[in-house]
């Protein structure tokens, strides 16, 4: 799977996790129906919050790992390019020194 596709899927997964988290908070704090269910309602809202946290946090960690890995690879390739390029610095000799020779 290409890296860009994987990153896009991870970002979508983070969005789904955050949406579940917000849904769980809404159900717990503002929904009259969930309050009328009693303990079952609390369990439903807690499950939404738990799955939201699990999905979003683990995905964020993996996405951060991928981005740090990509940055390290870019820096390594840039360093290789700098080492592979010939040194293009030249010394400038003043004309008075050239004339004395």
pLDDT digits (tens, 9 = 90+) for 42-82: 999 999 999 999 999 888 888 888 889 989 999 999 888 88
Total structural domains within the chain? 1
Cβ neighbours for 6, distance < 8 A, ≥ 6 positions apart: 66
Q: Does the residue 9 lie in any domain?
A: yes
Q: Does the residue 74 lie in any domain?
A: yes
Rounded Cα distance, 79 and 97, in Å: 37
Q: Does the residue 55 lie in any domain?
A: yes
pLDDT of residue 94: 64
Is pTM, for the whole model, over 0.85? no
Q: Does the residue 97 lie in any domain?
A: no
Q: Does the residue 101 lie in any domain?
A: no
Q: Does the residue 40 lie in any domain?
A: yes
pLDDT of residue 82: 85
Query: Range of 13's domain?
Result: 3-85
Q: Does the residue 95 lie in any domain?
A: no
Angle (nearest 5°) at CA 29 between 59 and 35: 115
The DSSP symbol for 85 reads: S
Q: Does the residue 92 lie in any domain?
A: no
């Amino acid at each position: 799977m290409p890296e860009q596709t994987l990153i896009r899927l991870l970002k979508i997964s983070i969005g789904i996790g955050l949406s579940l988290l917000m849904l769980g908070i809404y159900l717990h704090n503002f929904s009259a129906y969930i309050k009328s269910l009693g303990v079952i309602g609390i369990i439903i809202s807690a499950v939404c919050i738990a799955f939201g946290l699990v999905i979003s946090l683990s995905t964020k960690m993996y996405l951060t790992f991928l981005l740090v890995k990509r940055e390290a690879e870019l820096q390594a390739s840039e360093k290789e390019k700098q080492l592979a390029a010939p040194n293009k610095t030249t010394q400038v000799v003043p004309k008075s020194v050239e004339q004395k020779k």
